[in-house]
Amino acid sequence: MSTPTQLSGGCPFLNPRRLFHDLAEARNSRELPHSDTFKGRVISRYDDIVQALHDPATFSNEPTVGTFPSPWREQFEGRVPNRGTLLGLDNPDHDRLRSSVNTFFMPRNLIRYEPWIREQAHAMVDKFVEDGRADLKTSFALPLPLKVIAHVVGLDTARSEWIGAALGFFMGPRDLYHPGTPDEKAKKLLDLHDYILEVMEERKHDRRDDLISHIWNERESGAVEMTDFEMLSMFPGLMLAGHETSSNLICMTLSHLLADPARYSAAQKDDDSRAEALEEILRYESAITGMKRLVTKDTELGGALPQGR
Ligand code: HEM
């Protein structure tokens, strides 16, 4: 295999303000440049990404979610599923477990939550007026998605702040918004898993309109086979993916729009202009800018020949 091209300008991908510049440089490079920061090659062209995502047998999810380090691995044994989220699984487990939530997350099925979400958003914004000031991240962009995802999963929304703090364990030192040391967060994470198990047990006999009940329905109908521990593993990762991304998206959108009053009022014209602005911001600056994959066998991608394990 040829020596991979190194990206120029010292160590790229370390400065978030230069990220899109670095990615553009990587896109224009003839091969797949090597990054010392990621200890791997950077795939940044659309077609190459689609090829890799459509071939999970060659581009494994194994490194996408890390394993718990000691001493937490031992503390969590049998109670918190290790690498236990869809994102870190390969087939056949990935598709089997994913099928338990597929129909639930269809947009036409999710629309029923809109009035409830609007109500929560209004209540939070009304509080800004009462207080006379607000920190957008901690008073709106973080608590709203947390409340929404807790509600959708079927947990008590009054506990959403506590749920956020427990999920903060997964964020490691990058978690600046939830209080507590890693040990305190680990304890909360264990308690969160115990709490989810309790709600799972309740919903087994008393179904409601929520994701936990939906998965029980799928299991009961024979549409999907999974153990209780596998079912438990679906929720924490999904709640993390479901609130961190939305929270970042709200902040990024508002920061772009508030910095440009003309753009702000153009986006605010009506529901269509708001939807368009949202679509554009998802394209313009994603809340997730990269995920790792492990190349399991020799293959060809983007003019390069990534070698397998
Ligand atoms: C701005 C919002 C969001 C963005 C930009 C985003 C982005 C992504 C990306 C890029 C992936 C694929 C990662 C990979 O395969 O390498 C992903 C996967 C996933 N996301 Fe999101 N996401 C968002 C919102 C959400 C929400 C609201 C939920 C849950 C309600 C969610 C749950 C998941 C789950 C469960 C996966 C794993 C799917 C699988 O492996 O089958 N995401 N997301």
pLDDT at site 1: 38
For range 123-143, the mean pLDDT: 92
pLDDT category, 106, cuts 50, 70, 90? Answer: very high
199 pLDDT band, cuts 50/70/90, is very high
Distance 182 CA to ligand 1 centre (A): 25
Which has the higher per-residue pLDDT, 3 or 45?
A: 45
Mean pLDDT along residues 116-123: 96
- State the pLDDT at residue 60: 93
Higher local confidence (pLDDT), 42 or 37: 42
| Most confident stretch, 4-8, 40-44, 148-152 | 148-152
Which regions of 71-196 does DSSP assign to beta strands (E)? none
For the Cβ of 294 lying below 6 angstroms from any atom of ligand 1, the answer is: no
Percentage of the chain modeled with pLDDT above 70: 94
Ligand 1: centre distance to CA 73 (Å): 25
pLDDT beyond 90 at 302: no
Closest ligand 1 atom, CA of 101?
35
Backbone phi, then psi, for 301, in 5-degree steps?
-150, 130
In a 3-state reduction of DSSP, which class is residue 15? coil
Rounded to an integer, what distance in angstroms lies between the CA atom of residue 132 and that of residue 270? 27
Nearest CA to ligand 1 atom 25: 242
* Average confidence (pLDDT) over 265-271: 95
Q: What would the mean pLDDT of 260-285 be, rounded to a whole number?
A: 93
Instruction: Please check whether residue 229 is in contact with residue 262, taking contact to mean a CB–CB distance below 8 angstroms.
Output: no
Q: 289 CA distance to ligand 1 centroid (A)?
A: 11
Protein residue whose Cα sits closest to atom 18 of ligand 1: 87
Mean pLDDT along residues 248-255: 93
Ligand 1 centroid to 240 CA: how many Å? 10
| Threshold 0.85, pTM exceeds | yes
Determine whether the shortest distance from the Cβ of 52 to ligand 1 is under 6 A: no
Cβ(246) – ligand 1 distance below 6 Å = yes
Interval 83-88 mean pLDDT:
81
Q: In whole angstroms, give the CA distance from residue 159 to residue 113.
A: 19
